[in-house]
Amino acid sequence: MNRYNIIKNKNPREIVLLKGAPCKWGICSFCDYIDDNEKDIDICNNINLQVLSNITGITGQLEVINSGSVFELPSITFNKIYEIVEEKNINKIYFESHWLYRENLKKIHNIYNIPVIFKLGLETFDENFRNNILKKGIVFDTPTQISKYFQSICLLIGIEGQTKDMIKNDIDILLNNFPLGCINIFNENSTNIKRDIDLINWFKKEFAFLYNLKNIEILDHNTDFGVG
Ligand code: SF4
């Protein structure tokens, strides 16, 4: 498994995939990357410190992901990230978090004196599909409630049961309410969730313009950032 890369296309940044404690939510129906979670803190720290040693600060930006939320990283790892940000003159950092930690995000904003971008794996704005099919556990009334906490939204495209209207609505809300977005094309994994290839082909034609937008990243495979 590759855990360090430099993203060179849109929004260049170094990215690390770290190991954290089990995802506190942990029941999303399409997710098998929690298999990378680890209860043994020493194992997490040993791997993470080695991975973090690759960071050079070359792009000035760093993204940290961990198959869960940043709050599930051991404190030794979390403190090391902060040290590296200072040492390597990182001027922007990205973390992921589940919605359930939203009130804790400000603690991280308070620690860092650089912009911190929080990414939310929302997957879709469609309430029924998100919570009843994908089991995301994210309940809100308006996109503004989310943008108060999260600056980047991850959407999942191409799952059986998803519709063109849902996707059109998702892209519309993303583009009109959030500065950054990441669109993941669904690939089948060890879960029972199935891919809808016709819907994916339609999306790629219908929304071809998204590939040219600087603030929208589209991943055909979840290893396209070079980690995983
Ligand atoms: S919150 Fe993220 S890591 Fe946790 S189960 Fe859901 S998709 Fe997987």
36 confidence band (pLDDT: 50, 70, 90): very high
What pLDDT was estimated at residue 31?
Answer: 97
Region 56-66: what's the mean pLDDT?
98
Region 80-90: what's the mean pLDDT?
98
Contacts of 167 (CB under 8 A, 6+ apart): 157, 199, 203, 207
Q: Which residue stretches of the chain are H helix?
A: 41-52, 75-87, 105-111, 127-128, 143-147, 164-177, 197-206
Q: How far is CA 89 from CA 10, 64, 70, 101, 105, in A?
A: 20, 16, 21, 27, 22
Tokens for 91, please give them.
Answer: 């001027």
Is the shortest distance between the CB of 20 and ligand 1 below 6 Å?
A: no
Check pLDDT > 90 for residue 155. Answer: yes
Q: pTM for the whole thing?
A: 0.96
57 confidence band (pLDDT: 50, 70, 90): very high
Q: Measured between alpha carbons, how far is 8 from 11 in angstroms, rounded to an integer?
A: 7
Note whether 118 and 151 are within 8 A (CB).
yes
> Which of 19, 28, 65, 118 best tests ligand 1's pocket when mutated (most atoms within 8 Å of CB)?
28
Query: Using CA atoms in the order 63, 79, 84, 222, what is the torsion angle rounded to 10 degrees?
Result: -20
User: Taking the CA of residue 142 as centre, how many other CA atoms within 13 Å lie in the half-sphere pointing to its CB?
Assistant: 5
**Atom of ligand 1 lying closest to residue 136 CA:** 6
The pLDDT tens digits of the residues spanning 124-147 come to 999 999 999 999 999 999 999 999
**Atom of ligand 1 lying closest to residue 30 CA:** 7
Note whether 36 and 19 are within 8 A (CB).
yes
182 confidence band (pLDDT: 50, 70, 90): very high
Annotation: CATH topology of 4-219: TIM Barrel (3.20.20)
The pLDDT tens digits of the residues spanning 92-114 come to 999 999 999 999 999 999 999 99
Is the shortest distance between the CB of 130 and ligand 1 below 6 Å?
A: no
Domain ranges of the chain: 4-219
Check pLDDT > 90 for residue 193. Answer: yes
What pLDDT was estimated at residue 141?
Answer: 97
Note whether 178 and 217 are within 8 A (CB).
no
Express as a percent the part of the chain with pLDDT over 70. Answer: 100
Tell me how far the alpha carbon of residue 186 is from its chain's centroid. Answer: 14
Check pLDDT > 90 for residue 222. Answer: no
Helix, strand or coil for residue 57?
Answer: coil
